[in-house]
Structure 1
Amino acid sequence: MTDRILPLEGVLNFRDYGGYATTSGGTLRRGRLYRSAHHGRATDADLAAMADLGIAVIVDLRRPNERRREPSRRPQGFDGQVIESDLGDVDDDPWWSFVRQSDLSEEAFRQYLMDYYRNAPFEPRHVDLYARYFQALGEADGAVLIHCAAGKDRTGLLAALTHHLTGVSREDLIADYLLTNVAISFEQRMPLMVQAISEGAGREPSEAAVRVAMGVDEAYLLQALAAIEAAHGDLDAYLEAVLGVDQALRERISARLVG
């Protein structure tokens, strides 16, 4: 599993989420699907490595204020499609509002994430971005890269939906989701995350609580999938009714990604 992680310098959690067996008897192709954290701190070496991946589409799942705070760096000469959304443009965001009001306990962070995942599939900005991403999967000539700030929640849900759509097993899509806990380098990021939360909240969280905030848990993803199933019956109905992934688009995506 860890061979799919690309060890870049300033872009965390960068990895290929292809390579899994599908129910059709094929394999989700490698080198077509990438996911990561934001690219605002990408080094020149990172950009050179990314330029070699043949990326045709970048989907930036962040809020507008996040993009302003950490503008993305792109490889020199990059002329691919960039998909972004300005829906819900606010100066603040729910995460930092929560941090300021929270007791910063492990349970508080866990409950925040459970609530977040319950609502994430229906957030208008996510619906907009996810729908355009799936259209791009059926049309783009080249690899597609999705990312948010940490590359774990918004990105993790979208990768899981992609895996489901292409016939990857529930076991494998969960395993790919949990790979974030290996790829994000807790020890490297912990001091910066503690500092950021301390400055935002005016008090210091425990490292155990920050580890919850930084990581992922199977229960989070299952919460999102259960919310989708409760609202629409199953994931396929959600993909079609909410994200516009009809049978023709499914077939185009499968033809492009499954070999």
Structure 2
Amino acid sequence: MTVTDIDVLPNLRDLGGLSASDGRRTRPGVLYRSALPAPGDTRPTVVAEWPVRTVVDLRSPREFATRAHPLQSDGTAVHLISLLTDTEVTAPSQGARLADIYQGILINAGKQLADVLRVAATAPGPVLLHCAAGKDRTGIAVALLLRIAGVEPGDIIADYVLTNEHMPAVLARITRFAPELGRAHPHDRDLRGAVPDAIEGVLSHWDTHPGGVHTWVRSQGATDETIRLWSARFTE
């Protein structure tokens, strides 16, 4: 990593171009994912359109309140949709498997995930999803949006694991730009990186739910119209 690399938003990618059901593909320029943006980031070159029009910040309220969001502007709206509480973020994981932590998010934050879907389906795009590392909370939310659009589990897992290539930059950025997160976050969760069986468990939870992921997200408060809008917006 060079000196200037730390000023580049890591783990940023456009989730367009993935195969979906019925021969469709996900549409570029609709959904991005990343780690935590920082003040003074250089303009990204890995996505075609920047800045985004909508940001969904999945951090907890205390994380969010630490400083003004660097992407908030007259042209960019930031939505805070917390998938973990302040207590859950700072609680020692005590060796808990990421798979178990992820299942806890499905149980305790299903309605928030349905809200992520609503914003992604209706807010101006591109839409950026991020948390602190762009790995766990972002990984689950992205997996939901991809699965609802018909992306196969294998491709979702491949995107999730791609985050591991960016973890050194992610951890360096947290140390520099958000040292309070470095002190508060259980480091072993981040140092473990993206663990395939954790997201596999999430996908299995949805796919074995009676009626699949669409029925699951409806049970959390999503509407048929929101699901329809998202699939139409994100696939071509």
Could you say what secondary structure the match of 1:59 adopts?
strand
Partner of 1:53: 50
| Aligned equivalent of 2:116 | 133
- Match in the other structure for 2:212: 234
Amino acid of the residue matched to residue 219 of structure 2? A
CA distance in 2, matches of 1:84, 1:197: 17
Q: Measure, in 2, the Cα distance between the counterparts of 1:200 and 1:251.
A: 39
Alpha-carbon spacing, 1:186–1:47, altered in 2? closer, same or farther (3 Å): closer
- Which of 61, 64, 79 matches 1:64? 61
Give the alignment's TM-score, normalised by structure 1: 0.73
Q: Which residue of 2 aligns with 1:74?
A: 71
Distance 1:8 1:78 in 2: 26
Helix, strand or coil at the partner of 1:151:
coil
Are 1:190 and 1:210, in contact at CA under 8 Å, matched by a contact in 2?
no
In the aligned structure 1, how far is the partner of 2:78 from the partner of 2:181? 30
**Distance across 2 between alignment mates of 1:116 and 1:179:** 20
Per-residue CA distance 1:211-231 (angstroms, 9 max, x = gap)? 863511111112223344566
Matched, 1:173 2:170: no
Q: Which residue of 2 aligns with 1:253?
A: 230
2:131 is aligned, of 144, 148, 157, to 148
How far off is 1:23 after superposition?
Answer: 1.2
- 1:55-89 C-alpha deviation (Å, 9 max, x unpaired): 221101110111123542126x4433321147976
**Residues 86-125 of structure 1: CA deviation (Å, up to 9, x unaligned):** 79764xx3343216xx4xxxxx2xx34222111111224x
Q: Give matches, 1:55-134, under 5 Å.
A: 55-74=52-71, 77-85=73-81, 90=86, 93-98=87-92, 102=94, 108=95, 111-124=96-109, 127-128=111-112, 130-134=113-117
State whether structure 2 residue 20 is matched by structure 1 residue 22.
yes
Structure 1 residues 71 and 234 mapped into 2: Cα distance closer, same or farther (>3 Å)?
Answer: same
Identity between Structure 1 and Structure 2 (%): 27
In 2 relative to 1, CA 252–119 (structure 1 residues): closer, same or farther, beyond 3 Å?
same
Residue 135 of structure 1: how far off its partner (Å): 1.7
Contact kept, 8 Å, 2:60 with 2:89, in 1: the verdict is no
Aligned length: 230
In the alignment, structure 1 residue 244 sits paired with structure 2 residue 228? no
CA distance in 1, matches of 2:82, 2:140: 20
The structure-2 alpha-carbon separation of the partners of 1:191 and 1:119, relative to structure 1 and needing over 3 Å to count, comes to closer
Residue in structure 2 matched with residue 184 of structure 1 by the alignment: 167
Cα distance change of structure 1 residues 229 and 49 upon mapping to structure 2, 3 Å threshold: closer
Cα separation, partners in 2 of 1:182 and 1:135, compared to 1, 3 Å: same
Q: 5+ residue gaps in structure 1? A: 1-6, 103-107
Deviation at 1:10, TM superposition (A): 4.6
How far has the Cα of 1:188 moved from its partner? 6.4
In structure 2, do the counterparts of structure 1 residues 143 and 38 end up closer, same or farther at CA, with 3 Å as the change threshold? same
- Please say which structure displays the higher CA radius of gyration: 1
Q: Is the Cα contact below 8 Å between 2:174 and 2:181 reproduced in 1?
A: no
Unaligned runs of 5+ in 2: none
Aligned counterparts of 1:81 and 1:165: Cα–Cα separation in 2? 24
CA distance in 2 between partners of 1:212 and 1:81 (Å)? 28
